[in-house]
Structure 1
Amino acid sequence: MNEQAIMQIVNDIIAELLLKKQAAPTPNEIPIGISARHIHLQQAHIEHLFGKGATLSVQKILAQPGQFAAQETLQVVGPKGSIQNVRVLGPARTVTQIEISQTDAIALGIQPPLRESGAIAGSASCTLVGPKGSLVLQEGVIIAQAHIHMTPTDAQFLGVQNGQSVSVKVQGRRPITFEQVKIRVAAHYQLEMHIDTDEANAGFIQQGETGTIITGKVAGEPFNNPVRPPIEINNKIITASDLSHYQGKTVVVPKEARLTALAKETVTKLGIELQFHEKG
């Protein structure tokens, strides 16, 4: 057996191990961010709770440009209980809003509505307690609707529009499909789907896993995945590693190309459509 053949076998084995460890990305794969309970504050409320002239200090930069987790935390109090050390996110906003999970709501004894961020009219009330004061909010507590941040380029690539609701499937130990996930498009956004801790726990989802848009509607029309040109591989011998990143895609190879055994298994596992062409 020559050196080239040995290297092909080694590459196939490595590719197979990688496939078992982590599934290849799909054409419309969306990174998932898990949002724990948090608070957005308007500047007047920052000063009321933390002292006159107070501003938020950065603890950690978040995925969305310009957003950060602040070092400051607050106590959230409801009729039945309270939650300590709830993180404030910055920068300051025009309206104060508290985003919690349904589990948190039960612990607090309140009934916040499921809403898009910013839609706080008629939402639940609570009391915020800080180091320099407390604040009773008549409204402002919501359970955030699952949503996907993306740029206009992302939206065009994925075939979706701002305000559209889609379904997103997440594979894993407990596969789950999220319905009515809202698309939010802006030039400064980073592609990321946001769910809360209850939703993540339901699907055994960890930070950084991915989901796939599978269905949705725009103005009553069926959702369609974007049409992409096929991938061309012009090798005489096609290995599993050559195919491992093309899940669900069409791959064109020379008619005389030979697929290794692991490459054939990869085609089946990843749902690859294989097409053969004559040399031009």
Structure 2
Amino acid sequence: MKEELIKEIVEKVIDNIVGCQECSMEIPLEVSARHVHLSKEHMEFLFGSQDQLKTLKELSQPGQFVYDKRVTLMGSKGFISNVAILGPARSDTQVEISYTDARTLGVNPPIRESGNLEGTGRIIIAAGGKAVNLNQGVIIAKRHIHMTPKDAEDLQVKDGQQVKVRIKSKRPVVLEEVLIRVSGKYRLSMHIDHDEGNAAAYRPGTIGVIIK
């Protein structure tokens, strides 16, 4: 009896320790839908000037927002209309889609960190009767976590590190090779695409936990 009681107590203590660790590492989860980051040059070509685009809503990351205009993506097999444009303008145009989107369009983009566009896929971006033939810039965004230096210290991780994250949902999954991105300009949030969100039965309020 004593051995069984000791075993039960030990198990409860371990559960409590693990539970506390996980609570301290909970990360808000967001699904990032297909979108486009336009360069100033392409923005002015498609819409006349940057002033023609107005902010529709702010995003969770400070200084990031959605414009009130939309574009159409065109590939060798099909097209996807009503694609959001995120601001502010970037130095290079970047298109972020999911694997499902890629099949619809007939493109074969690599999984890349945002901004790493060398040798990436080609696509046509159209709006208002005009079109940009993008020679490179189509990616499937590598799953990642935005965080501040203080968050990184608390979570005991560093910029550029890759971690495993357990998604707590009705259909829990473990995602590997999740990139840590650290900056004082960020707000704590993990970003995945629609394919990954659907696989995990994502709903607003879903959280992730870094697996130590």
Taking structure 2 as the reference length, the TM-score comes to 0.88
Distance 1:113 1:74, change over 3 A: same
Q: Counterparts of 1:64 and 1:107 in 2: how far apart (Å)?
A: 29
Aligned to 1:59: 56
Deviation at 1:208, TM superposition (A): 2.9
Is the 2:40–2:50 contact (alpha carbons within 8 Å) kept by the matching residues of 1?
A: no
Following the alignment from structure 1 to structure 2, what is the Cα–Cα distance between the partners of residues 92 and 55?
13
Q: CA deviation at 1:172?
A: 1.8
SS in 2 for 1:111: coil
Q: Deviation of residue 188 (structure 1)?
A: 1.1
Q: Give the unaligned 5+ runs of structure 2.
A: 1-18
Report the Cα offset of residue 56 of structure 1.
2.8
Letter in 2 for 1:121: E
Q: Deviations over 1:157-212 (max 9, x none)?
A: 00000000000001221110010000000001000000000000001012331000
> Does 1 or 2 have the higher relative contact order (CA < 8 Å, sep 6+)?
2
- Among 134, 145, 148, the alignment partner of 1:148 is 145
**What's 1:82 paired with?**
79
Instruction: List aligned pairs for 1:117-128, cutoff 5 A.
Output: 117-128=114-125
1:112 partnered with 2:109: yes
Other structure's SS at 1:69 match? strand
Deviation of the 1:75 alpha carbon: 0.3
Q: For 2:166 and 2:113, how far apart are their aligned partners in 1?
A: 20
Give structure 1 regions of 4+ aligned residues with deviation exceeding 2 angstroms.
52-56
Q: Is the 8 A contact 2:147 2:189 kept in 1?
A: yes
Alignment partner of 1:162 is 2:159: yes
Task: Determine the C-alpha separation between the residues in 2 that align with 1:179 and 1:56.
Answer: 37
Which runs of 5 or more residues in structure 1 are unaligned? 1-22, 216-280
Segment drifting more, 48-57 vs 199-208:
48-57
Partners of 1:53 and 1:142 lie apart in 2 by 24
Partner of 1:184 in structure 2?
181
Alignment of 1:127-146 (within 5 A): 127-146=124-143
Aligned sequence identity (%): 47
Q: TM-score, normalised by structure 1?
A: 0.67
CA displacement, residues 96-153 of structure 1 (integer Å, 9 cap, x when unaligned): 0000000000000010000000011111100000115111001100000000000000
Q: SS in structure 1 opposite 2:24?
A: coil
Match of 1:37 among 6, 12, 34: 34
The count of aligned residue pairs is: 193
Name 1:202's counterpart in structure 2. 199
Q: Could you tell me whether the CA contact under 8 Å between 2:65 and 2:87 is conserved in 1?
A: yes
Name the CA distance, whole Å, in 1 between partners of 2:174 and 2:106.
29
Residue identity matched to 1:70 = Y
Kindly name which structure, 1 or 2, has the bigger radius of gyration based on alpha carbons: 1
- 2:11 maps to none
Residue 26 of structure 1 aligns to a residue whose secondary structure is: helix
